[in-house]
Amino acid sequence: MSVELPARVNPLSRALSDAGILAWRSLKRIPRTPDMLIYATIQPIMFVLLFAYVFGNAIPIPGFPGPRAYREFLMSGIFAQTMAFAVASASVGLADDMSKGLIDRFRSLPMARSGVIAGRVVGDLVFNAFVMLIMVICGFIVGWRWHNGFGQALAAFAILLLFAFAMLWVGALIGLSVGGPEVASSAGLIWLFPLTFLSNAFVPTPQLPKALQPIAEWNPISSIVAACRHLFGNPSPFASPDGFPAQHPVWLSLMWCTAIIVVFAPLAVRKYRSATGH
């Protein structure tokens, strides 16, 4: 029997094209769920206001006197936290697709195995870039500025987006591993709270208990925050100013992002191969 086979295509161009189509799908969905966009921006705005005006005066920044120092210090922490929370959008999105049977449909199509997750990741990245833009405006309003020129600020934003990109793969793995979107939402976020609070994001590490200082300084979130503070020219105190995290914040942040992607992207794609909704 003769069967017409679809034309063979280069696997890489197929993977890119499939990711592009799925990213188009994610982007189409964003304006149709405006509540998601609202909640995704309200939470970080709330954090900026709470930390800047409630805790701000109670947390001195070592070596940087003055009332505006904490707000300058704070914003990189808020940016990194917002990007880390990208985990939730990927995990909830994929868990939702799975429970609705869409993952099964996609898996029954002659698609690249990476297509669905990559499309989700790219779509969510655009979404998070938009959320970050709102955060930047919010930061300007509370008095945060960058001091090393636009080029370095741009490099900091690039690192933040790279971090979001890495975290989205973690979210993808979680979303494909848990039972449903409700579980995915808490499973995606619960471990992020200790991770962000045990970092330099909101409290300068010299003020932390001695035992926690090395953990907080090597924490991947701290490395992103420190890299941003360095590039923005914002206050960036360290408990051990001679350590690697203090000396090479940008390198450490890039290493962390690479490590997360290298570990979690293949795990997520492997999980997708066997993921099934029912």
Partner 1 sequence: MAAIEATGLVKTFKGRKATVKALDGIDLDVPEGTVLGLLGPNGAGKTTAVRVLTTLLKPDAGTARVLGYDVVKDADTVRGLVGLSGQYAAVDELLTGRENLWMFGRLYRLPSQQAKQRAEELLATFDLTEAADRILKTYSGGMRRRLDLAGSLIAHPKVLFLDEPTTGLDPRSRLDLWQIIRDRVREGVTILLTTQYLEEADELADSIAVVDHGSVIARGTADELKAKVGGERIEVVVHDPADLTRALELLTGALGIADPESTSLEEHNRRLTVPAPGGSSTLVEVIRTLDAAQIRIADIGLRRPTLDDVFLTLTGHEAEQKESL
Binding interface with partner 1 (CB under 8 A): 1, 3, 5-7, 9, 14, 17-18, 21, 24-25, 28-29, 32-33, 100-102, 104-111, 115, 276-278
Minimum distance from residue 138 beta carbon to partner 1 (Å) = 28
Which residue, 31 or 194, has its beta carbon nearer to partner 1?
Answer: 31
- C-alpha to C-alpha distances, 259 to 73, 121, 220, 250, 277, nearest whole angstrom: 26, 17, 10, 14, 29
Minimum distance from residue 131 beta carbon to partner 1 (Å) = 19
Minimum distance from residue 25 beta carbon to partner 1 (Å) = 6
DSSP-assigned letters across all residues of 205-244: GGGS-GGGHHHHHHSHHHHHHHHHHHHHT-----SSTTSH
Measured at the alpha carbon of residue 193, what is the angle toward residues 247 and 62, in degrees to the nearest 5? 40
Minimum distance from residue 15 beta carbon to partner 1 (Å) = 12
- C-alpha to C-alpha distances, 175 to 37, 44, 48, 126, 189, nearest whole angstrom: 19, 22, 28, 19, 11
Which residue, 21 or 262, has its beta carbon nearer to partner 1?
Answer: 21
Minimum distance from residue 44 beta carbon to partner 1 (Å) = 24
Pairs from 149-153 (Cβ < 8 Å, separation ≥ 24): 152/231, 152/232, 152/233, 153/231, 153/232
Largest alpha-carbon pair distance within the chain?
82
Which residue, 111 or 131, has its beta carbon nearer to partner 1?
Answer: 111
**How far does CA 202 lie from the centroid of its chain?**
17
SS3 label, residue 64? strand
Which residue, 9 or 255, has its beta carbon nearer to partner 1?
Answer: 9
Minimum distance from residue 262 beta carbon to partner 1 (Å) = 26
Instruction: Quote the tokens at residue 56.
Output: 């701000």
Which residue, 6 or 65, has its beta carbon nearer to partner 1?
Answer: 6
Which residue, 19 or 164, has its beta carbon nearer to partner 1?
Answer: 19
Phi, psi angles (nearest 5°) of residue 134: -65, -40
